[in-house]
């Protein structure tokens, strides 16, 4: 069933941009875009054929949902000044509890968390993105689930506690992994080697992780407890003590995890 809602975006960063585009592409109306920078609000609003404002107290109330796409540490201050407490409002954060809305006197609220990494200028296949939905009441939940199900095939009802756990796991599986890729690229770049040589290896590692438990798929010097090779690699990293420390700690952790 296609139910079209009018949505107001609070924020104009990566999450607001990606969600705004996919919502418009799926027939939703973005009514208004708020950003504390009027330029940013207008920039995104123009793409989405929406109005723009940088005054939270001047927001239109002609909307079905206020969708907050802001950094975690700015959400609270926006809620303090928010003019409408009886309309549906949701945030998109992995870590802010649902209760933040109650604490600020809201009556209908929810969470609409896309478990994905969004970067500027990089399109994401939103229809595969898991959306984690939670709400204050059934009617609000139905609206959020309806929107999520119209843009993604991966929609979950997830409590604030579960969302926090998923977020911690995601930091390990995505943010930290990306940092390791970054270190690997720094190493290959430093010696004029092509980082792309590592692509088949990385693809295979990632593919395997969802076919068998990654713990059982572990390979490498630490898995074999090859002390000589580990010492060689640590010596090679002597000029980069930060990376040496990471190599040491993760190798020890692999060795311990296989005991």
For a copy of itself, the binding residues in 24-53 under the rule CB under 8 A are: none
For residue 241, state whether it binds a copy of itself (rule: CB under 8 A).
no
Q: How many CB atoms lie within 10 A of CB 69?
A: 28
Residue 202 interacting with a copy of itself (CB under 8 A): yes
Distance in Å from the first CA to the final CA of the chain: 52
**In the window 131-170, what residues touch a copy of itself (CB under 8 A)?**
154, 156, 162, 164-170
Question: Phi and psi for 6 in degrees, rounded to 5?
Answer: -95, 130
Residue indicated by tokens 């009886």: 86
Count, residues in the chain: 259
**Nearest distance in Å: CB 138, a copy of itself:** 23
Candidates 6, 64, 104, 130: give the one binding a copy of itself (CB under 8 A): 130
- Interactions with a copy of itself, residue window 63-122 (CB under 8 A): 71-73, 95, 115-119, 122
* Least distance between a copy of itself and beta carbon 162 (Å): 6
Residue 215: both structure tokens together: 């713990």
Site for a copy of itself contains 239 (CB under 8 A): no
Considering the complex, what minimum distance in angstroms separates the CB of residue 173 from a copy of itself? Answer: 4
- Note whether 182 binds a copy of itself by CB under 8 A: yes
Nearer to a copy of itself, 4 or 255 (CB): 255
Answer yes or no: are the C-beta atoms of 67 and 112 closer than 8 Å. Answer: yes
Is 229 among the residues that bind a copy of itself (CB under 8 A)?
yes
Nearest distance from C-beta of residue 147 to a copy of itself, angstroms: 18
Q: Please, are residues 227 and 257 in contact by the beta-carbon 8 Å criterion?
A: no
Among 1, 212, 239, 259, binds a copy of itself (CB under 8 A): 212
DSSP classification of residue 215: G
DSSP letters spanning 26-59: TTPEEEEEE-SSHHHHHHHHHHHT-EEES-GGG-
Cα dist from 96 to 69, 101, 134, 145, 160, whole Å: 12, 10, 12, 19, 8
Closest CB 14 distance from a copy of itself, rounded Å: 8
Which H helix or E strand runs over 179? helix 177-190
Minimum CB distance to a copy of itself smaller for 64 or for 226: 226
Tell me how far, at minimum, the Cβ of 29 lies from a copy of itself, in Å.
27
Q: Which is nearer to a copy of itself, 51 or 188 (CB)?
A: 188
């Amino acid at each position: 069933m296609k139910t079209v809602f009018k949505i107001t975006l609070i924020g104009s960063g990566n999450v607001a941009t990606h969600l705004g585009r996919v919502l418009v592409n799926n027939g939703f109306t973005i009514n208004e875009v708020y950003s504390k920078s009027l330029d940013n609000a207008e920039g995104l609003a123009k793409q989405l054929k929406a109005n723009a404002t940088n005054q939270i107290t001047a927001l239109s109330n002609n909307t079905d949902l206020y969708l907050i796409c802001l950094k975690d540490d700015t959400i609270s201050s926006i809620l303090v000044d928010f003019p409408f407490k009886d309309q549906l409002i949701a945030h998109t954060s992995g870590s802010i509890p649902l209760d933040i809305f109650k604490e600020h006197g809201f009556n209908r609220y929810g969470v609409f968390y896309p478990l994905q990494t969004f970067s500027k200028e990089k399109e994401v296949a939103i229809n595969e993105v898991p959306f984690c939905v939670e709400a204050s009441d059934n009617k609000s939940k139905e609206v959020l689930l309806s929107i999520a199900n119209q843009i993604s095939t991966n929609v979950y009802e997830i409590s604030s506690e579960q969302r926090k756990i998923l977020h911690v796991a995601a930091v390990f599986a995505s943010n930290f992994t990306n940092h390791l890729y970054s270190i690997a690229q720094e190493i290959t770049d430093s010696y004029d080697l092509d980082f792309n040589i590592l692509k088949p290896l990385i693809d295979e590692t990632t593919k395997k992780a969802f076919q068998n438990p990654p713990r059982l798929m572990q390979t490498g010097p630490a898995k074999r407890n090859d002390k000589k090779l580990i010492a060689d690699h640590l010596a090679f990293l002597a000029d980069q003590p930060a990376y040496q420390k990471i190599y040491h700690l993760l190798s020890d952790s692999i060795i311990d995890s296989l005991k």
